Chain A
Amino acid sequence: MMRKVIEVILLVLLLFFTAHSTGNLHSPPGKPALTSCRSPEKETFTCWWKPGSDGGMPTTHALYYRKESSETVYECPDYHTAGENSCFFNKKDTSIWINYNITVVATNALGRAFSDPVEIDVVYIVKPNPPEKVTVTVMEDKGWPFLRVSWEPPHKADTRSGWITLIYEIRVKLEEENDWEMHLAGQQKMFNIFSLRSGGKYLVEVRCKPDHGFWSEWSSTSYIKVPDYFHREKSAWILITVFSACTFLILTWLLHMNRQYLKHCILPPVPGPKIKGFDQQLLKNGKSSEIFSALVMPDFPPTASSNYEDLLVEYLEVYVPGEQELVLEESKDLHHVCLKSESSTSDSDSGRGSCDSHTLLIDKCGEAKEERRQTDQACSQIRTEAQRRLKDALTHGGVVSSDMSSGRVKTWPSVFSPLPRYSPSPLDQQSSLQMAKQHSLSTSSYLTQPGHSAKEALGQSYWDFCLSGKQPHLLTPQTLVSRELQAHSDVNISSIGLKRAPAGLRSPALHTTEYVGVQRVSNEDMVLLQPVVSGCGRMEGCFQVPQGEVYSKVKGVDSDNVLLLQREGMEEDRCPCVDQETNEETGNCHTLNTVSNTRKPSACVYTAMPVQDEIAPMVNGYVDSATMCTLHTC
């Protein structure tokens, strides 16, 4: 029962609600709202509203406005120009710098709805139209393109009279990009855009705004395509790149080819030490003592134990009668030596000394002497000097030293001479003297020695030229010095030897073998010797002697003061023997000469010999003046 009542009530309520829902429910309209009011040129303006719900019934809207400081309410003059739900205020109705109070009213059958009032000042709601006639052109500036955009203000906006002032803005972008590039142009109506991409397609748009207002909409898009202008740029760059690459390659190749030379030029090799005996490996590895010991040469400096005799070059051989052979040999060698040393091929050995000496043949052979001296340089002078010295020595000493007989007087070699042949020196005094002389290299030292021989030594520079037979070529000052030394030594030796030596008819050291030709034997037991020179024929008494062909050596002196000559068998037919004594052994023609001492110190260089009458004046043989002189005390 109760249930039925509830159901009926529910049914009635349902019917009631459905009748409501299906039918139009009329109500007053909803509240409209003004959305915006805008003025395009500051002379007119338009307001738009949005209506509310209409309430199911036809609703009308009306806009009412009131001006500042006036209570008069006006209605919108134009609802249609601007479209639906809009109100357009024309110039007549528009006042600037005056506040408008605008209200929209929605009205339907059931009621009205008022919107909220809005205060506006037209000055602050200006939103112009977009700029018009936008043109974009591509222009060039020194080969580089740029865009020139130009436009005009919207035709409605009166900027010409200054009523409205517009500022513009441009935006540019490439077609394929999304970001625009904005440029504010100010009040100008033209703008340049640089930094373009070659061959790009650009979009350009412009908009404007009054100095206090709203931005306009963007103008319609302008499309522009920038032409390709990088061809000549690129080609130039390509050329430059290729050229520089080629140059670089060439330079690299040149450097590579000459790297050794450049390396040598820039970093010159450091010269290594060139010390004899210096071992770099030893330096790196070894100790200092080893290094320095390696530097020491084994034979330098010469130690004290060296034999000074080794430094001698030659030897003066002084022969005792028992050793005449040796003397002859030696003289022969010396003769050979002298031949070598001399430049002239002529035989200058024979007989020169006799002419040069100022004894017997001095007058006759004066010219010859001069000639000889001119032609024969060293050897002749040497021999002359030698004879003189010998003479002097003999005169000084008076007694020929016999000490020399057993030994040899050593000459003074130059220090640079090769080591001569060795010969023992029994003469200690001589050797000591030589040692002393060897060590001192100054001529003054020699001069301080026996002074009487100083002058003689000075002129004996040529002495050693033949003496140092092993080096005939040495004419250096050193050899000169050595020669002087040798000369000094020789003189001293000779002199000293003469001093020391007891009386003896044996001659001191004489190293020259002088060959003289025996001219004749005088009645006074003197053998006249003639020099052997080709040019000596003029003089009387100077017999022409064949050069170097026939000479005899003094073999010895026998007990009877006979000079034993040994003649070599060159021309046997010309073998005038003064005093011949055949040598059964050799078969040669011997001319025996006796040498007797003379007491004429200065005059007698020649040997005075007892001469037999049968001795022919012509003696083709040569007498070794050395040996002859030794038999004299000249």
Chain B
Amino acid sequence: MKNVLFAVLTLVYLELSMTVVAAPICAYGQAGCHVLSLVDLFERVIQQSSRMHGISSDLHSEFEQDFFPRENLVGKRRCHTYGILTPDDKENAQRLGREQLTEVILRLLGAWGDPLSQLYRSMSQDQNQDFNHYSSNKALEISDMVHDLREGVAIMAEEMKLLGGLGNTVGYISPGSLVPSAFSFHTQGELNSMDHHDLLSCFRRDSNKVKNYLRILKCTTLPGLDC
């Protein structure tokens, strides 16, 4: 009995340790691991966010060509992340500071995990063949990216905290606390194409915000040739 328990605990520990970080980097400075520098972390994160934004932009443009001639985008509905206060220009973003900026990024990324999954499920299960195979794959890809990016940014934030770039005000933010009540349509049943369109346009914007905020964060933290 004790042996069985020991084995179960070992397996659980291994699984947890493996699911912490998708990328094989040693964020905690473990012995024997190749420690990534902050610059490398920034590079990876920024590239990931840029890719994510590109894919979402492609999806949106496909969607808009096929189904909507040039309609009013968000006039009727708001994105479910409207509750997250984000700086809307450069001065505001620079005034915000690194810690808050990081927090905003994390919030944004956390808010889009579930909706994107639902979007993918809805698109793949579409019976009337509105979406081709590539669109649903892209939806799946961005939903995975959101998760990976969020974890990466978290690791980067931890690294910055270690280096002293960030204060300790940045805490772990659970995605559940950020979800505004507006975003509850996932419980309303299946998403129609309008919902799809709205989701894609909202996500396109938010991914752009994430990308931009990350760049600002990098250039203020590590000014280099890229900035």
Interface residues of A (CB under 8 A from B): 42-43, 68-69, 91, 94-99, 101, 119, 121, 123, 158-163, 165, 187-188, 211-212
Minimum CB–CB distance for A515 against chain B, Å? 132
The answer to whether B88 touches A98, judged by C-beta atoms less than 8 angstroms apart, is yes
Minimum CB–CB distance for A302 against chain B, Å? 109
> Please, how many angstroms separate the alpha-carbon atoms of A96 and B93 in the complex?
11
The answer to whether B89 touches A187, judged by C-beta atoms less than 8 angstroms apart, is no
List residues 8-25 of chain B with CB under 8 A from any CB of chain A.
none
* Nearest A-chain residue to B77, judged by Cβ: A69
The answer to whether A161 touches B74, judged by C-beta atoms less than 8 angstroms apart, is no
> Please, how many angstroms separate the alpha-carbon atoms of A17 and B94 in the complex?
67
> Please, how many angstroms separate the alpha-carbon atoms of A160 and B223 in the complex?
8
* Nearest A-chain residue to B209, judged by Cβ: A97
* Nearest B-chain residue to A121, judged by Cβ: B205
Q: Which of A96, A165, A211, A212 is B88 in contact with, Cβ under 8 Å?
A: A96
The answer to whether A162 touches B209, judged by C-beta atoms less than 8 angstroms apart, is no
> Please, how many angstroms separate the alpha-carbon atoms of A212 and B215 in the complex?
14
- B220 in contact (CB, < 8 A): yes
Q: A162-B216, A212-B208 are in contact. List 5 more A-B contacts (CB 8 A).
A: A69-B82, A97-B88, A119-B75, A160-B227, A188-B225
- B57 in contact (CB, < 8 A): yes
List residues 213-227 of chain B with CB under 8 A from any CB of chain A.
215-220, 223, 225-227
> Please, how many angstroms separate the alpha-carbon atoms of A101 and B73 in the complex?
11
Give the interface SS of chain A, mostly helix, strand, loop or mixed: loop
> Please, how many angstroms separate the alpha-carbon atoms of A42 and B72 in the complex?
22
> Please, how many angstroms separate the alpha-carbon atoms of A69 and B91 in the complex?
22
> Please, how many angstroms separate the alpha-carbon atoms of A526 and B156 in the complex?
159
* Nearest A-chain residue to B70, judged by Cβ: A119
For B219, what are the chain A residues with a Cβ–Cβ distance below 8 Å? 160-162
The 0/1 profile, CB within 8 Å of A marked 1, for residues 31-51 of chain B is: 000000000000000000010
Minimum CB–CB distance for B74 against chain A, Å? 6
The answer to whether B216 touches A68, judged by C-beta atoms less than 8 angstroms apart, is no
> Please, how many angstroms separate the alpha-carbon atoms of A101 and B70 in the complex?
13
Sample of 5 A–B contacts (CB below 8 Å): A68-B75, A98-B88, A99-B74, A163-B212, A163-B216
* Nearest B-chain residue to A91, judged by Cβ: B89
Number of chain B residues close to chain A: CB under 8 A: 31
The answer to whether B215 touches A162, judged by C-beta atoms less than 8 angstroms apart, is yes
Minimum CB–CB distance for B210 against chain A, Å? 11
For A159, what are the chain B residues with a Cβ–Cβ distance below 8 Å? 227
Give the interface SS of chain B, mostly helix, strand, loop or mixed: helix
The 0/1 profile, CB within 8 Å of A marked 1, for residues 66-98 of chain B is: 000000111100100010001011110110000
For B72, what are the chain A residues with a Cβ–Cβ distance below 8 Å? 119
The answer to whether A69 touches B88, judged by C-beta atoms less than 8 angstroms apart, is no
- B53 in contact (CB, < 8 A): yes
* Nearest A-chain residue to B219, judged by Cβ: A162
The answer to whether B73 touches A119, judged by C-beta atoms less than 8 angstroms apart, is yes
Asked, given contacts A119-B72, A162-B220, whether A187 binds B53 with beta carbons under 8 Å apart, the answer is no
The answer to whether B227 touches A161, judged by C-beta atoms less than 8 angstroms apart, is yes
Minimum CB–CB distance for B37 against chain A, Å? 18
The answer to whether B73 touches A161, judged by C-beta atoms less than 8 angstroms apart, is no
The answer to whether B73 touches A162, judged by C-beta atoms less than 8 angstroms apart, is no
Minimum CB–CB distance for A186 against chain B, Å? 10
> Please, how many angstroms separate the alpha-carbon atoms of A160 and B225 in the complex?
9
* Nearest B-chain residue to A95, judged by Cβ: B88
The answer to whether A97 touches B205, judged by C-beta atoms less than 8 angstroms apart, is yes
* Nearest A-chain residue to B89, judged by Cβ: A96
Minimum CB–CB distance for A154 against chain B, Å? 15
For A123, what are the chain B residues with a Cβ–Cβ distance below 8 Å? 205, 208
For A119, what are the chain B residues with a Cβ–Cβ distance below 8 Å? 72-73, 75
> Please, how many angstroms separate the alpha-carbon atoms of A97 and B88 in the complex?
6
> Please, how many angstroms separate the alpha-carbon atoms of A41 and B90 in the complex?
11
For A101, what are the chain B residues with a Cβ–Cβ distance below 8 Å? 75
> Please, how many angstroms separate the alpha-carbon atoms of A564 and B174 in the complex?
171
Minimum CB–CB distance for B221 against chain A, Å? 10
Minimum CB–CB distance for A38 against chain B, Å? 17
> Please, how many angstroms separate the alpha-carbon atoms of A487 and B16 in the complex?
129
Asked, given contacts A99-B73, A123-B208, A212-B57, whether A161 binds B90 with beta carbons under 8 Å apart, the answer is yes
For B212, what are the chain A residues with a Cβ–Cβ distance below 8 Å? 162-163
The answer to whether A162 touches B227, judged by C-beta atoms less than 8 angstroms apart, is yes
* Nearest B-chain residue to A42, judged by Cβ: B90
For A187, what are the chain B residues with a Cβ–Cβ distance below 8 Å? 226
> Please, how many angstroms separate the alpha-carbon atoms of A69 and B94 in the complex?
25
Q: Which of A97, A162, A188, A212 is B86 in contact with, Cβ under 8 Å?
A: A97
For B223, what are the chain A residues with a Cβ–Cβ distance below 8 Å? 160
The answer to whether A161 touches B89, judged by C-beta atoms less than 8 angstroms apart, is no
For B93, what are the chain A residues with a Cβ–Cβ distance below 8 Å? 163
For B205, what are the chain A residues with a Cβ–Cβ distance below 8 Å? 97, 121, 123
> Please, how many angstroms separate the alpha-carbon atoms of A94 and B89 in the complex?
8
Asked, given contacts A69-B78, A95-B89, A99-B74, whether A162 binds B218 with beta carbons under 8 Å apart, the answer is yes
For B227, what are the chain A residues with a Cβ–Cβ distance below 8 Å? 159-162
Nearest first, the 6 A-B pairs at minimum CB distance are A162-B219, A162-B215, A95-B88, A162-B216, A163-B90, A162-B227
> Please, how many angstroms separate the alpha-carbon atoms of A68 and B76 in the complex?
10
> Please, how many angstroms separate the alpha-carbon atoms of A284 and B212 in the complex?
101
For B208, what are the chain A residues with a Cβ–Cβ distance below 8 Å? 97, 123, 212
> Please, how many angstroms separate the alpha-carbon atoms of A613 and B91 in the complex?
184
The answer to whether A43 touches B89, judged by C-beta atoms less than 8 angstroms apart, is yes
* Nearest B-chain residue to A159, judged by Cβ: B227
The answer to whether B53 touches A212, judged by C-beta atoms less than 8 angstroms apart, is yes
For B86, what are the chain A residues with a Cβ–Cβ distance below 8 Å? 97
> Please, how many angstroms separate the alpha-carbon atoms of A99 and B201 in the complex?
11
* Nearest B-chain residue to A187, judged by Cβ: B226
* Chain A CB within 10 A, most for which of B74, B216, B217: B74
The answer to whether A211 touches B50, judged by C-beta atoms less than 8 angstroms apart, is yes
Minimum CB–CB distance for B131 against chain A, Å? 23
* Chain B CB within 10 A, most for which of A69, A123, A161: A161
Minimum CB–CB distance for A251 against chain B, Å? 60
> Please, how many angstroms separate the alpha-carbon atoms of A161 and B86 in the complex?
18
The answer to whether B216 touches A161, judged by C-beta atoms less than 8 angstroms apart, is yes
> Please, how many angstroms separate the alpha-carbon atoms of A317 and B226 in the complex?
138
* Nearest B-chain residue to A212, judged by Cβ: B57
> Please, how many angstroms separate the alpha-carbon atoms of A212 and B218 in the complex?
19
The answer to whether A165 touches B89, judged by C-beta atoms less than 8 angstroms apart, is no
For B90, what are the chain A residues with a Cβ–Cβ distance below 8 Å? 42-43, 158, 161, 163
Minimum CB–CB distance for B207 against chain A, Å? 10
> Please, how many angstroms separate the alpha-carbon atoms of A121 and B72 in the complex?
12
Minimum CB–CB distance for B220 against chain A, Å? 7
* Nearest A-chain residue to B213, judged by Cβ: A162
* Nearest A-chain residue to B87, judged by Cβ: A96
* Nearest B-chain residue to A211, judged by Cβ: B50
Minimum CB–CB distance for A306 against chain B, Å? 114
